[in-house]
């Protein structure tokens, strides 16, 4: 079965750029989505089709996908961005989520 691998944790200082990676076999050949989940809350879609932001998602969130790696980038990271982030892709009509990355802003 298809697997997506994320680092368990990433740390960033306020105002700096955070990058969260998601690796999967030939991931660049399919679209990736990214979700943000804060403690006690439901997930929120922040990036879809590799690079697109849903309405209401700040411009500091951006995405890329090439080769075997998709990347979520948060520019000018704010304290409110501290959360768990999950990548997701489709394989044979089955959705696959990465294991999640805890972003700490310190």
Partner 1 sequence: EVQLVESGGGLVQPGRSLRLSCAASVFTFDDYAMHWVRQVPGKGLEWVSGISWDSGSIGYADSVKGRFTISRDNAKNSLYLQMNTLRAEDTALYYCAKDRTMIQGVSAGGMDVWGQGTTVTVS
User: How many Å apart are CA 21 and CA 97, to the nearest integer?
Assistant: 13
Please report, as ranges, the residues that interact with partner 1 according to CB under 8 A.
1, 30-31, 33, 35, 37, 42-45, 48-49, 54, 86, 88-90, 92-100
Tell me whether residue 17 or residue 97 sits nearer to partner 1 (CB atom).
Answer: 97
Q: In the bound complex, what is the minimum distance in angstroms from residue 51's beta carbon to partner 1?
A: 12
Yes or no: say if 43 and 84 are a contact pair by the CB < 8 Å rule. Answer: no
Q: Which of 86, 78, 102 is nearest to 36 (CA)?
A: 86
Q: In the bound complex, what is the minimum distance in angstroms from residue 15's beta carbon to partner 1?
A: 28
Tell me whether residue 18 or residue 89 sits nearer to partner 1 (CB atom).
Answer: 89
Q: In the bound complex, what is the minimum distance in angstroms from residue 31's beta carbon to partner 1?
A: 4
Q: In the bound complex, what is the minimum distance in angstroms from residue 23's beta carbon to partner 1?
A: 15
User: How many Å apart are CA 10 and CA 43, to the nearest integer?
Assistant: 18
Q: What count of residues does the chain have?
A: 106
Tell me whether residue 75 or residue 91 sits nearer to partner 1 (CB atom).
Answer: 91
List all residues 6 or more positions away from 69 whose beta carbon is below 8 Å from its beta carbon. Answer: 21, 22, 23, 27, 28
Tell me whether residue 72 or residue 76 sits nearer to partner 1 (CB atom).
Answer: 72
User: How many Å apart are CA 95 and CA 88, to the nearest integer?
Assistant: 7
């Amino acid at each position: 079965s298809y697997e997506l691998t994320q680092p368990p944790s990433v740390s960033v200082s306020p105002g700096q750029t955070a990058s969260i990676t998601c690796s999967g076999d030939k991931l660049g050949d399919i679209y990736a989505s990214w979700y943000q989940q804060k403690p006690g809350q439901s997930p929120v879609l922040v990036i879809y089709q590799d690079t697109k932001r849903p309405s209401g998602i700040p411009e500091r969130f951006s995405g890329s996908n090439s080769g075997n790696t998709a990347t979520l980038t948060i520019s000018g990271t704010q304290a409110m961005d501290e959360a768990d982030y999950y990548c997701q892709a489709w394989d044979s009509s089955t959705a696959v989520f990465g294991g999640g990355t805890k972003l700490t802003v310190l």
